[in-house]
Amino acid sequence: MHGSGHHLTALERAEALCQKRGVQLTPLRRDVLRLVLEAEAPIGAYALLDQLKGSRAKAAPPTVYRALDFLLEQGLIHRLERLNAFMGCAEALEGHAHDHDHDHGHAHEHPHQFLICRGCGITREISDHAVAEAIAAAAARGGFSGARATVEIEGLCAQCGNAAQPNSG
């Protein structure tokens, strides 16, 4: 999704989802979402603030964090704890065949895991139900119910993995 040119469609989808839920995607929230979607990799709050200052001189950390909180609550973005950064939610914004309507208050009910390249930083969201079921089963064995988890998997993407392998000649 990042840098792929799909951000206009994703913004329109986000506006439609917000309208359907009766919440407002204000111009600031829209700008923050646009910047998250345009980023080549997950982006931090202060990097967003730096980019916003060009068009919104009065932008401050609290305003950016409030916009991010709204976008998280609506399930339009994800927060990657390991990177302390944000990226768009593929399920909500790319219109997958199983087009999830993230209901307000249940923004992250779909299972999601993130593949993070330690070489170039590219991050991919995947949604593997088997992983989610294994986590839920392990939690149940430990006496927990209703367990949810965000899984962040670090490794090398295909490009970085190929670059790391010595040429056999």
**Would you say 88 and 76 are in contact if contact means Cβ atoms under 8 Å apart?**
yes
Angle (CA) 32-33-36 rounded to 5° is 90
The mean pLDDT of 66-87, rounded to a whole number, is 94
pLDDT, residue 100, reads 44
Question: What distance, in Å, lies between the first and last C-alpha atoms of the chain?
Answer: 36
Q: Is the pLDDT reported for residue 117 higher than 50?
A: yes
pLDDT averaged over every residue in the chain: 84
Domains of the chain, earliest start first: 1-102 (1.10.10.10), 111-169 (3.30.1490.190)
Token reading at 116: 């993070």
Instruction: Give the model confidence (pLDDT) of 98-113 as tens digits.
Output: 344 444 444 446 678 9
